[in-house]
């Protein structure tokens, strides 16, 4: 019994009933003007459905009254953008008026019938002979009203999802927006992995080398390198957090290949012998290419320090007319980095692919080679 009556305790039951009643206001107003043509409001719905904003208004109202509290109700709040949308809106308006008439009739007539049956049971005949058996029949119209209210509420909600639901174009737009959000999250994850991972790797290598050396002068240099690398990592972290807070910071604030000196000095301070050579106009590279090139170089140097330690590293940066070429190589370590599942190497390939370029990582001729080619146009 409690389960049967539970819908009566839900606010959604009454907001759906209100949604069914609302179209009857226009019918009642028209009946006051011209009671001889009660069907006229249905004709007015045809030009009304042609207005694009009507679909948005119906969608907002349906979400508020039919699906209150639902995060994904499946009802659009966008205006009509095609004749198909307008046709669906017209069908929805007509169907809503019909269901509203049924709901209004049941809401008024069934309680009156209950009262008539109760009067008949006590000898006060309305339109039929009094009889005590009417007392048993009196609750039935209320039970029927209960079923009508719940049934019509569920039916009008289902129709709203079908007729006011997102069109194919809206689904594609929502999918594109979701894809952009996922790409942004992936980019932020890569940024954190590259900048913070590089800083932690340098700090670990420097701390280990300082402890093993036992030289106060070397320890001082190591602490200085850790401090500088940590400060740079904090700047990167603040920038990424600014993106998460939707701060209006330009993309140009991200480091580029023109700032590669701090990466090289950080690697050299960690004991690596970096042989760096750049050809071409690196300073005039397009912003996106230069920024992604910086991150690829950073991740490559991080992998060298993490997996090979203080070894000679050869870095070549070539800015041509059509593409930027990056090549970082070092002697093969005792334990090769993963070439498939490592997030760092995968990030290098993803960054190159994002700009329409290619990246290759792996052993070659006794060295570990990272080579990326990024188009400039």
pLDDT for residue 249:
46
Tokens of 370: 């990272």
The two tokens of residue 148 are: 């009508």
pLDDT at site 291: 86
Q: Quote the pLDDT of residue 333.
A: 72
pLDDT of residue 174: 67
Residues of the chain with pLDDT under 50: 246-251, 341
Q: Which residues of 273-296 are buried (b: 16+ CB within 10 A; e: fewer)?
A: ebebeeeeebeebeeebbbbbbbb
Instruction: Quote the pLDDT of residue 247.
Output: 44
Residue 133 Ramachandran class (φ > 0 left, ψ -120 to 50 alpha, else beta): alpha
Non-local (6+) Cβ contacts of 162 within 8 A are none
Calpha distance 312→335 (Å, rounded): 17
* CA–CA separation, 372 and 293 (whole Å): 8
Q: What is the C-alpha to C-alpha distance for residues 50 and 48, in angstroms, rounded to an integer?
A: 5
Q: What is the CA radius of gyration of the chain?
A: 36
**pLDDT value at position 90?**
92
Q: What is the pLDDT of residue 371?
A: 94
Residue 326 has a pLDDT of 94
């Amino acid at each position: 019994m409690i389960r049967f009556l539970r819908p009566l305790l839900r606010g959604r039951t009454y907001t759906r009933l209100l949604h069914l009643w609302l179209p009857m206001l226009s019918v009642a107003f028209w009946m006051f003007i011209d009671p001889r043509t009660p069907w006229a409001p249905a004709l007015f719905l045809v030009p009304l459905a042609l207005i694009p904003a009507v679909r948005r208004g119906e969608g907002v109202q349906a979400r508020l009254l039919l699906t209150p509290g639902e995060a994904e109700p499946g009802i659009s709040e966008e205006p009509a953008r095609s004749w198909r949308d307008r046709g669906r809106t017209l069908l929805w308006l007509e169907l809503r008026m019909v269901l509203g008439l049924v709901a209004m009739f049941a809401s008024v007539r069934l309680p009156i019938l209950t009262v008539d049956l109760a009067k008949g049971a006590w000898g006060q005949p309305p339109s039929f002979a009094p009889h005590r058996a009417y007392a048993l029949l009196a609750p039935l119209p209320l039970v029927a009203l209960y079923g009508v209210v719940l049934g019509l509420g569920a039916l009008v909600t289902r129709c709203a999802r079908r007729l006011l639901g997102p069109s194919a174009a809206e689904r594609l737009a929502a999918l594109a927006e979701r894809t952009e959000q996922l790409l942004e999250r992936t980019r932020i994850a890569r940024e954190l992995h590259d900048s913070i991972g590089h800083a932690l790797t340098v700090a670990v290598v420097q701390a280990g080398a300082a402890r093993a050396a036992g030289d106060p002068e070397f320890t001082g240099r190591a602490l200085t390198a850790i401090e500088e690398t940590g400060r740079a990592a904090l700047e990167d972290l603040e920038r990424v957090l600014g993106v998460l807070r939707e701060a209006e910071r330009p993309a140009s604030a991200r480091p580029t290949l023109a700032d590669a000196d701090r990466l090289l000095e950080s690697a050299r301070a960690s004991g690596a012998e970096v042989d760096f050579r750049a050809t071409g106009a690196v300073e005039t590279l397009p912003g996106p290419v230069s920024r992604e090139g910086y991150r690829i170089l950073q991740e490559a140097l991080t992998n060298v320090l993490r997996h090979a330690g203080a070894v000679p590293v050869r870095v070549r940066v070539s800015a041509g007319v059509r593409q930027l070429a990056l090549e970082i190589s070092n002697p093969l370590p005792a334990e090769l980095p993963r070439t498939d599942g490592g997030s760092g190497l995968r990030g290098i390939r993803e960054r190159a692919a994002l700009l329409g370029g290619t990246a290759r990582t792996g052993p070659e001729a006794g060295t570990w080679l990272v080579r990326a080619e990024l188009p400039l146009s």
